[in-house]
Amino acid sequence: MSGPSMLLVPTVNVRTFRPANVRRILCVFPAYTEAFGTSDHAFPLMGPVKAFMPPQGILLIAALIPREWEVRFVDENIRPVEASEFAWADAVLVSGMHIQRRQILDLARRAYRAGKVIALGGPSVSAAPEDYPEIDLLHCGEVGDGTLDLFRRLDETVARPERQIVYRTVDRLPMTEFPTPAYRLIDVRQYLLGCVQYSSGCPFTCEFCDIPALYGRNPRLKSPQQILVELDELADGGTPSIYFVDDNFIGNPRATLDLLPHLVEWQRRRDYTVRLSCELTLNVAEYPEILKLMREAFMTNVFCGIETVDTDALRAMSKRQNLRTPILQSVDTINSYGIEVAAGIILGLDTDTPETPDAILEFIEASQIPIVTPNLLVALPHTPLYERLQKGARLNSGEGRDSNIEYLQPYETVVANWKRVIRETYEPRKIYARYATQAKKTYLHRKRPVRPLDQLSWANVRRAVEVFSRTAWRVGICSDYRREFWKMTWRELRQG
């Protein structure tokens, strides 16, 4: 007689969890502190645009919420949560970054006044849970078993806990099992850019970066088919430009080469009506096959962390990928494929000297990079930089300052240099000249639509007319640099 049969119990994960109770979940993304990088200054020119990009993380969570539960989403960069929405909700789920900490805490206070339990996830709390002692439920790490535990708790009760509860993800959900983010809950036309994520993680170990500690050095991947579904949903919703928010689009070059032919075919099917862009490392210049396919996929813009032009500083911060080829040569190579480079620059490095601002400004002039984002060095938790400065007693609270670092140069000097670089970089005459150079150096090499007249849809024509009319009024008439604007505009119109 055979022994008792073994019953195979299906493994439950966050995607297959079925709750016992019905809940109403309010997902909220907090407002950003207004900054150059969020492009707030451009929104008045762009018609319905009110925010930078859809928040991928919280929209993914919204898509994972059990289908038996009701879900609503509010992006406070577009509008604040209303009292009636707090009253409707059983629980409030929030995600955010370090720059949003003040707004996260304000959101929590409003939820508590309404008597609601609040759960916080995302990169900020994952890196520094100690910064959020006021929050009821913390979700640390990526989507996975920690998310399942959080959902189980909300299914069991939506009462606020007596003490904070922390859920940590150990077993991450494979990205190939991620659902499409809940774009159905947003109007993508209200965002400057749409966004998708193909990979998570970066193989490099830059001293100031927390990506390897948070997401790993071996990039995890979605399938190309998942990306195409997301691209279609965003494009069908009316977004004209989509950004790949991967930590490093070429973190796994083989995976990039696997994806790009699918993007090329997608663009051919849509006749290049959507511009693509991404963030990647400067060593993409070493991969002509990738650059060629990026051009064919209508990847028109990339953001590169150039950080500094000082080779000793690059070595000190372990950014050796920027040392393999001269930086100017790499930028020129990328431009030759019709791809415009935007650059991140850091001030406040230990290697900075009184000559550093001049060197940065000379590089910007030589490279003709139009968009540069100068930043002050900040020490993020779980980075080699943070650990080094902590051991050297060179960290402060950051309260009332733009950084938590005790720089080797006086703080006031570093800030003055930072402001000078921003001021001189964005002198109207200089930035218009850089764009004029890009028109000749870069844009002429871009992929052209097979049927250019298809671009002349009523929606595209109306959008172009609206943007130009707003720009002409705000910049060409109301600004104090209108003369430079019209000089460049007429020159480019004459040259076609």
Q: Collapse the DSSP code of 84 into the 3-class scheme (helix H, G, I; strand E, B; otherwise coil) and give the result.
A: helix
- Give residue 10's pLDDT: 53
**Amino acid in position 9:** V
Q: How far apart are CA 424 and CA 406, in angstroms?
A: 26
CA 140 to chain centre: 19
Q: How far apart are CA 207 and CA 133, in angstroms?
A: 28
- Give residue 298's pLDDT: 97
| CA angle in degrees (0–180, nearest 5) for 185-128-86 | 35
Q: State percent of the chain over pLDDT 70.
A: 96
The CATH number of the domain covering residues in 24-168: 3.40.50
- Give residue 4's pLDDT: 44
Q: How far apart are CA 356 and CA 359, in angstroms?
A: 5
How far, CA to CA in Å, does 79 sit from each of 32, 50, 51, 72?
A: 12, 9, 10, 14
Show the tokens assigned to 248: 């490093």
| Burial category of 39 from C-beta neighbours within 10 Å (exposed 0-12, middle 13-18, buried 19 and up) | middle
CA 318 to chain centre: 23
- Give residue 453's pLDDT: 65
- Give residue 480's pLDDT: 84
Q: How far apart are CA 380 and CA 404, in angstroms?
A: 9
- Give residue 476's pLDDT: 82
Q: How far apart are CA 134 and CA 109, in angstroms?
A: 9
Show the tokens assigned to 472: 């002409």
Q: Collapse the DSSP code of 97 into the 3-class scheme (helix H, G, I; strand E, B; otherwise coil) and give the result.
A: coil
Residues 446-490: tens digit of each pLDDT: 998 777 666 666 667 777 788 878 888 888 888 888 888 888 777
Contacts of 183 (CB under 8 A, 6+ apart): 54, 59, 230, 233, 234, 237
Phi first, then psi, for residue 461 (nearest 5°) are -65, -45
Residues 306-349: tens digit of each pLDDT: 999 999 999 999 999 999 999 999 999 999 999 999 999 999 99
- Give residue 450's pLDDT: 73
Helix spans in 91-173 (H):
101-113, 123-127, 145-156
Least Cα distance to 345 among 403, 241, 418 occurs for 418
Phi first, then psi, for residue 197 (nearest 5°) are -130, 120
Q: Structure pTM?
A: 0.92
| CA angle in degrees (0–180, nearest 5) for 53-212-171 | 90
Show the tokens assigned to 244: 């790949």
Show the tokens assigned to 338: 């019709």
- C-alpha count within 13 angstroms, C-beta hemisphere, residue 380: 20
Round to the nearest angstrom and report the end-to-end CA distance of the chain. Answer: 88
Least Cα distance to 29 among 59, 71, 63, 69 occurs for 59
- Give residue 34's pLDDT: 78
**Amino acid in position 465:** V
Starting from the edge strand earliest in sequence, which strands make up the sheet with 241-244, in order? 194-196, 241-244, 275-279, 299-307, 340-347, 372-376
Q: Where in the chain is the domain with CATH 3.40.50?
A: 24-168
Q: How far apart are CA 461 and CA 464, in angstroms?
A: 5
**Amino acid in position 389:** L
CA 272 to chain centre: 23
List the chain pLDDT tens, one digit each, 496 residues: 344 444 444 567 899 999 999 999 999 999 998 777 777 778 888 888 999 999 999 999 999 999 999 999 999 999 999 999 999 999 999 999 999 999 999 999 999 999 999 999 999 999 999 999 999 999 999 999 999 999 999 999 999 999 999 999 999 999 999 999 999 999 999 999 999 999 999 999 999 999 999 999 999 999 999 999 999 999 999 999 999 999 999 999 999 999 999 999 999 999 999 999 999 999 999 999 999 999 999 999 999 999 999 999 999 999 999 999 999 999 999 999 999 999 999 999 999 999 999 999 999 999 999 999 999 999 999 999 999 999 999 999 988 899 999 999 999 999 999 999 999 999 999 999 999 999 999 999 999 877 766 666 666 777 778 887 888 888 888 888 888 888 877 777 776 5
Show the tokens assigned to 200: 């998570």
Q: Where in the chain is the domain with CATH 3.20.20.70?
A: 193-445
Residues 81-97: tens digit of each pLDDT: 999 999 999 999 999 99
- Give residue 3's pLDDT: 44
Class of the 193-445 domain?
alpha beta
